[in-house]
Amino acid sequence: MADYTKIKEQLLNRKQQVEERIQQHFTEEQTRTFQLSQELSLYDNHPADAGTDLYEREKDFALLEQLEREHEEIEHALNKFQTGTFGVCEVTGKQIPYERLEASPAARTVVEAVNNRITDDRPAEEDVLEGFSRFDFDNDDSETQFDAEDSYQSVAEFNELPMVFEDSSLDENGELVGYVEQIEGFLSTGIDGYTGDEDVTFQRNVHYDQYLNGK
């Protein structure tokens, strides 16, 4: 059986360090709370300063939570010395390599078991949203709205095309997006809007060419 004396010393030293940091956090939090309680009002504090203080406190609490989890893992590992199961994988029952325990003394499993616990599960929200296809109304003549696919295409085009004026509303496949009717892509009016047919002008752009070509 491997000698885990040095590993146990690592765990005990780390446990002491974690407990000191947890105690330090509580001391600083008590001091901060006392200081805040001495102020009659926070009215004269700038909102940005209050936001910074809130961010710092949230960060401190997140770090504290991480320390507490680490402390639990260390306690769990030390308890294994009492039961004689330290160094044994909790999933496969195999002996955990000594090198892995040196790097991570509180390790519960062999590396292979950790990798097997990683799943390919997609976010639960996708079960509800069902992807863009659910909100794609290109083939539905009764729908004229700017749908989810159009929204994606409008954003995605900036990764593919330069921002040229006449091409800015075309995706990489040349599909017209952003208009209910094709003619809206090349007809324009003055600043007062539509005041009559005589005020409508044609813009000789790519939308006009596609309209003439029947695309």
d(CA 1, CA 98) in angstroms, rounded, equals 11
Which residue from 108, 24, 45 is spatially nearest to 74, judged by alpha carbons?
108
d(CA 83, CA 17) in angstroms, rounded, equals 25
142 plus 92 within the same structural domain: no
**Domain end (from 85, 112, 139):** 112
Contacts 24+ apart (CB under 8 A), 168-177: 169/207, 170/206, 174/210, 174/215, 176/207, 176/210, 177/146, 177/150, 177/153
pLDDT at 9: 94
Decide: residue 185, CB within 10 A, 0-12 exposed, 13-18 middle, 19+ buried: buried
Inter-residue contact 12 to 20 (CB < 8 Å): no
> Would you write out the chain's pLDDT as a tens digit for each of its 215 residues?
678 899 999 999 999 999 999 998 888 877 776 566 556 566 667 777 778 878 888 888 888 999 999 999 999 999 999 999 999 999 889 999 999 999 999 999 998 887 665 566 667 776 766 665 666 666 676 766 666 666 776 677 666 544 444 444 444 455 555 566 777 777 788 777 778 777 788 777 777 777 777 65
18 plus 91 within the same structural domain: yes
d(CA 197, CA 174) in angstroms, rounded, equals 29
Number of domains into which the chain is organized:
2
Here the CATH number for the domain that contains residue 83 is: 1.20.120.910
Q: Is residue 125 part of a domain?
A: no
pLDDT at 208: 75
Query: Which residue shows structure tokens 């729908």?
Result: 143
Partner residues linked to 188 by β-bridges: 201
Q: Is residue 126 part of a domain?
A: no
pLDDT at 85: 92
62 plus 161 within the same structural domain: no
Residues of the domain holding 187: 131-212
Query: Which residue shows structure tokens 């504290």?
Result: 64
pLDDT at 39: 61
Q: Is residue 124 part of a domain?
A: no
Say which residues have a Cβ less than 8 Å from residue 135's Cβ, sequence separation at least 6: 147, 148, 149
pLDDT at 190: 76
99 plus 25 within the same structural domain: yes
pLDDT at 171: 47
16 plus 108 within the same structural domain: yes
